[in-house]
Amino acid sequence: MIDNNFFAAATTDVITQHLLGHELLYQSSKGPVGGLIVEAEAYMGVKDSAAHSFGGRRTSANEALYAAAGTIYIYSIYGHYMLDIATQELDEPQGILIRALQPTRGLLIMQKNRPQGDFNLTNGPGKLMAALGINSLDLNLQPLTASPLSISSKRIQQPRKIIASPRINVSVGSWQMRPLRFYVAHNPYVSGMKKGEYDLDKYGWR
């Protein structure tokens, strides 16, 4: 299991890239479910115009970002739940949004949780949470190391190539075009990946 030091060992953008290929596992009431992280976005704190903590904004809703590195931050947008992990030291509100997973555990459970076929099952931040069966804020503010969620200590798969691009649905602000979204090139579970770019042999792994 990954420890909290991982999330404070480098800048948030570097940590985000390092997460690709690690396995995210959730011990759900129906059984273990999870997958390889294939897409994630970095949010760089008070200076980042797209971050929930931009300008030092601090509320009960985003308090998890100000907690110690490795704290779970779950929030809801239009009824869809999103999974963030806080990075950096206490009161330095940066974080990583997990955007897509390639399923490795409990596929049948995930398909029952979210009846979608093929790559549409977990190719987005709200989709993966629904597939995992996380439909509340119950895990918010919990340390990753003391929760039903865990991340493997090492990469399970090595990306052949990592792409950096602007984050999705960031439409305003000076950080709109910053390349802070990272994904495994040609992995079909990456959100918005075009079918013509799919690697259906190795899924973008070495």
**Calpha distance 193→97 (Å, rounded):** 18
pLDDT digits (tens, 9 = 90+) for 22-50: 999 999 999 999 999 999 999 999 999 99
Q: Kindly report the number of other CB atoms within 10 A of residue 203's CB atom.
A: 20
pLDDT digits (tens, 9 = 90+) for 121-159: 999 999 999 999 999 999 999 999 999 999 999 999 999
Domain boundaries, the chain: 4-197
pLDDT digits (tens, 9 = 90+) for 165-201: 999 999 889 999 999 999 999 999 999 999 999 999 9
Contact 84, 98 (CB under 8 A): yes
Going by the DSSP 8-state scheme, the letter that residue 137 receives in this structure is: S
Residue 171: the pLDDT is 87
- What end-to-end distance do the CA atoms of the chain give, in Å? 23
Q: Please, what CATH class does the domain formed by 4-197 belong to?
A: alpha beta
- Residue 99 banded pLDDT, cuts 50, 70, 90: very high
pLDDT at 117 over 90: no
**Calpha distance 197→168 (Å, rounded):** 18
Amino acid symbol at 161: K
pTM for the structure as a whole? 0.97
